[in-house]
A and B are shown apart, each in its own frame.
Chain A
Amino acid sequence: MSNKRTACLLLAALLLLVSQNIFSQCCSSGSPAGASTFVGLLNKKDIRVITYYRNNYSDTYFSGAVKQTDFTYLKNTSFKFFGLTLGYGITKKITAEYEMGYFISKVQVYKFTPNTTTTVKGFGLGNGFVTLKYGAYVKPEKNIEVTIGAGAKFPFSTQPQFVNYVIIPRDLQPSTGVFGMTGLLFFNKGFPGISLRVFSLNKYELNGASKYDFGTGKYDANYSYKYGNMLMNSIFVSKKIVNNFFGVLQFRSENRQADHVNGVLEQNTGNEVLYVSPQLSYSIVGKWHLAVMGDYPLYKNYTGKQMTPKYSWALSLTRDFNCGKKK
């Protein structure tokens, strides 16, 4: 058996193992934006592995679209996140994807006195996602792909995280602890003559409600914390710069609805943010893809007073394994 075939079988086994975990464990919730532009279909039996590291920093409060300079509850917040996405081409028109990630740290830094800071930290597995994508209109000869997808969002635990027997704030929990559903629409149009690609991704996340009451530290059938749903719209332009180097410019809007507690709107939740995300990627023999990218908010509008993102950067490494028949 060739090394390539062995690697493909091992990856397929890993994908299967991960899929079994979806059903043997119980839960998951939200996670940071991914760090890959590989969102389309895979060829039959091909496998794609995407790993990425994302670092996010925030130190500015907003109320509405206005920066708040007199509100200094938190000095700053940040997180470090490692993400993994596995994709598998079931048929030439159906691709399955599994996403998961781990918060290396989620940190809030308080400054209650001028000369001292206090740090509160969370960490752990974020939410997982399983998605099936279907190529609704795929015309390689025209360089057009329209793909729709649907999936499930799941937590690895419905229990909130306690550190040293102390519950950490909801904002620092690595997972929402609730199940959800996702839907997506992907459109791609290539212009090979000028080495240009334009594509868009629209994704909607429908979040379920948690029955875990942080106030009493236990489950309550009559309690409900409903995380707001999220709509994300992205448009990308990708252009080959020189051999193996590609530049990508992404504009992304994220609209998060407010959370609700027992049906009552939760203050200081819900927002609209428009990001610009430049990216530079390097392709090695068409199979390895190394990318670095940044996220910068161009417009922010927050309900109540909320800490808002300042910048984020990510590194990603993608590898394609062509396990199917050669074309």
Chain B
Amino acid sequence: MLVVLLVACKKKDNNGPITGQPFKFISLSASDTSIAVNGLTTLTAVATGDGLTYTWSALYGTIIGSGAVVQYTVCHADNFKVMCVIKDVNNNTLKDSIYINVK
């Protein structure tokens, strides 16, 4: 099941990896929720639904890449919030956020 869900995490799901599944934001996780200044953490959004787009935003720092899996880095220490908004083919949106502590 996990493999199927991860396959579904594409930036623009034109092929519809899990068509017919209800639109659901399953999880937002980080490979490391605590990183050093200049460090990198990988953020993964897992969701089901059709025609998904993943919009990422952060008050500080840089988000590298696009789609369901991105990387995040910041140049100074603090606790930083990163948000992911997922939209499906019917323009329904779901969002989640995660805090990354930078030391």
A: which residues have CB within 8 A of B?
Answer: 71-74, 108, 110, 112, 118, 120, 162-170, 213-217, 267-268, 304-305
Interface residues of B, CB < 8 Å — how many?
26
With A166-B55, A215-B59, A216-B83 given, is the CB distance from A72 to B38 under 8 Å?
Answer: yes
Q: Which of B37, B63, B75 contacts A167 (CB 8 A)?
A: B63
Q: Which of A74, A112, A216 contacts B57 (CB 8 A)?
A: A216
Q: Are B75 and A166 in contact (CB under 8 A)?
A: no
Please indicate the chain A residues that have their CB under 8 angstroms from the CB of B27 in the complex. Answer: none
Q: How many angstroms between the C-alpha atoms of A216 and B37 in the bound complex?
A: 22
Q: How many angstroms between the C-alpha atoms of A71 and B36 in the bound complex?
A: 12
With A215-B83, A217-B85 given, is the CB distance from A165 to B37 under 8 Å?
Answer: no
Q: Are A215 and B57 in contact (CB under 8 A)?
A: yes
Q: Are B55 and A217 in contact (CB under 8 A)?
A: yes
User: Of all chain B residues, which has the CB nearest A118?
Assistant: B64
Residue with the greatest number of chain A CB neighbours at <10 A, chosen from B61, B62, B83: B62
User: Of all chain B residues, which has the CB nearest A307?
Assistant: B75
A63 shortest CB reach to chain B, Å: 12
Please indicate the chain A residues that have their CB under 8 angstroms from the CB of B64 in the complex. Answer: 110, 118, 120
Q: Are B59 and A305 in contact (CB under 8 A)?
A: no
Please indicate the chain A residues that have their CB under 8 angstroms from the CB of B85 in the complex. Answer: 217
B86 shortest CB reach to chain A, Å: 10
Please indicate the chain B residues that have their CB under 8 angstroms from the CB of A215 in the complex. Answer: 57-60, 81, 83
